[in-house]
């Protein structure tokens, strides 16, 4: 067999190997990317569930406070802070609908500020209206909010796991080469924040 023929066969074999490896890497990255986006949708659903519960909580407190002589200043301030944080978090969510955000930290900060404001509001309400412990609507919202915070934590963990799997495919050799060719970039993960790990308690 001529030397040129052997060289041609080797080159052809290498091209086949590269093509097969490229296809395998590409398909693996696509699957991992879709898993991340699916899990991101689950994260957003839980954050939206919390957002949907907050107006109900505020309305319940307002309805109760109408029976009082006046609304205490501490509750009014806390409600204003909650409203501001709520609007900012909703704006951050609207910007990330359908796809995981490139700047996840910005989204996370908005959601954590909302959770902090919610906790401040709940504490102010608890101190101002201790008899709310007998209001069934308020107690139901308490249970729903705490359950939602737990689900948010679970879905964030699952999202991070999906991102970790994706990033390994994108950053490790030889996947890194194909990731560069096919424009797959590493994704950000949620950062641990101890102040945001527990649900705001609405207890008396």
Exposed e or buried b per residue across 65-87, where buried means at least 16 C-beta atoms within 10 angstroms of its C-beta: beeeeeebeebeebbebbeebbe
Average confidence (pLDDT) over 151-170: 95
Residue 16 confidence (pLDDT): 63
Look up the pTM and report it: 0.81
pLDDT bin (cut points 50, 70, 90) of residue 148 is very high
pLDDT at 13 over 70: no
The Cα–Cα gap between 200 and 203 comes to: 9
Residue 4 confidence (pLDDT): 65
Higher pLDDT, 87 or 195: 87
CA dihedral 142, 146, 147, 152 (to 10 degrees): 140
pLDDT at 197 over 60: no
Average confidence (pLDDT) over 137-147: 90
Q: Which residue has the tokens 């527990």?
A: 198
Enter the tokens of residue 20.
Answer: 């097969």
């Amino acid at each position: 067999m001529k030397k040129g023929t052997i060289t041609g066969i080797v080159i052809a074999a290498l091209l086949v190997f590269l093509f097969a490896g490229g296809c395998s890497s590409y398909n693996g990255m696509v699957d991992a990317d879709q898993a991340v986006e699916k899990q991101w949708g689950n994260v957003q659903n839980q954050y939206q569930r919390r957002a949907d519960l907050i107006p109900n909580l505020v309305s319940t407190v307002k309805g109760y406070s109408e029976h009082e002589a006046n609304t205490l200043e501490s509750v009014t301030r806390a409600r204003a802070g909650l409203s501001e944080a709520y609007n900012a978090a909703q704006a951050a969510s609207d910007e990330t609908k359908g796809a995981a955000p490139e700047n996840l930290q910005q989204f996370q900060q908005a959601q954590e500020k909302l959770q902090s404001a919610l906790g401040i509001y709940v504490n102010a309400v608890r101190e101002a209206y201790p008899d709310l412990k007998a209001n069934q609507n308020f107690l139901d919202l308490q249970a729903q909010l705490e359950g939602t915070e737990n689900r948010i934590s679970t879905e964030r963990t699952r999202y991070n796991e999906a991102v970790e799997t994706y990033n390994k495919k994108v950053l490790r050799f030889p996947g890194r080469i194909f990731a560069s060719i096919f424009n797959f970039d590493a994704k950000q993960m949620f950062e641990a924040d101890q102040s945001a790990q527990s649900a705001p308690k609405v207890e008396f």
